[in-house]
Structure 1
Amino acid sequence: MARILIVDDSPTEMYKLTEMLEKNGHTVLKAENGANGVALAVQEKPDAVLMDIVMPGVNGFQATRQLSKNPETSHIPIIIVTTKDQETDKVWGKRQGASDYLVKPVEEDALIKVLDGVLKG
């Protein structure tokens, strides 16, 4: 299946998302903050990225913008996965280059459906 990079500073969320993805046959790469997530995406070229927003240092909006503006990673779909559920956050996330936006807690069915959608292009 696909190689998915999870960028999230919460060990609990990382665990939950990893379980869902691996159960559905995906390989998981992990980064605990935005800066490491950007570096790992450039290095590994995953098939998709699940990006948290609220993280220390480089936040998810900044990391999404960096990846979507970089010619090496601009083709990688980014799904924002966050607790921020305001419409302005969703609009801003899309403007930074995100392909989709999910609000935590994420249901497995919803995650896999959105992921399948962005992987198919």
Structure 2
Amino acid sequence: MNTTLMGTILIVEDTPSEMELMSHYLKESGYSVISAVSAREALNIAIEHKPNVIVTDIVMPGMSGFELCRNLKKHPATEKVPVVICTSKNQEIDRLWGMKQGADAYITKPFTREQLVRAIKSVVV
């Protein structure tokens, strides 16, 4: 693995344009990016690759980002991996629920590159 990179980020997003934007921002900022288009796929990738941070959408077919967060925090291989929820759900109740599911940070769309990178940096120990 290339040690000059700042870490590996797993992006879980079912909208191609959003995935593209996040990948671009993170690669530009020096991160290595792996991606999943569903929460189930993300669970398997996270267990196998142990990314430094997971950025997930909430509204996805099948399992939601909230469920993904709960499952990640329950699994020994991924319980310590920080989760950043990135969603268009901008109500305070959504943010509180996200944090209750184990999310480490919560940002809303649309976001700037700075907001995304700041959220990731804030959860990496």
In structure 2, stretches of 5+ residues that fail to align are 1-5
Q: Which residue of the partner structure matches residue 25 of structure 2?
A: 20
The question of 1:40 aligning with 2:45 is answered yes
CA distance in 2, matches of 1:90, 1:117: 16
Which of 77, 84, 91 aligns to 1:86? It is 91
Aligned partner of residue 98 in structure 1, secondary structure: coil
The question of 1:73 aligning with 2:72 is answered no
Aligned partner of residue 105 in structure 1, secondary structure: coil
In structure 1, stretches of 5+ residues that fail to align are none
User: What is the count of residue pairs matched by the alignment?
Assistant: 120
TM-aligned CA deviation for residue 114 of structure 1: 1.4
Letter in 1 for 2:122: G
Q: Say what the alpha-carbon RMSD is for the aligned residues.
A: 0.6
TM-aligned CA deviation for residue 51 of structure 1: 0.6
TM-aligned CA deviation for residue 117 of structure 1: 1.4
Identity of aligned residues (%): 38
Which of 48, 61, 66 aligns to 2:66? It is 61
CA distance in 2, matches of 1:118, 1:44: 18
TM-score using structure 2 length: 0.94
TM-aligned CA deviation for residue 110 of structure 1: 1.0
The question of 1:115 aligning with 2:125 is answered no
CA distance in 2, matches of 1:114, 1:31: 20
| Runs of 4+ residues deviating >6 angstroms | none
Aligned partner of residue 43 in structure 1, secondary structure: helix
TM-score using structure 1 length: 0.97
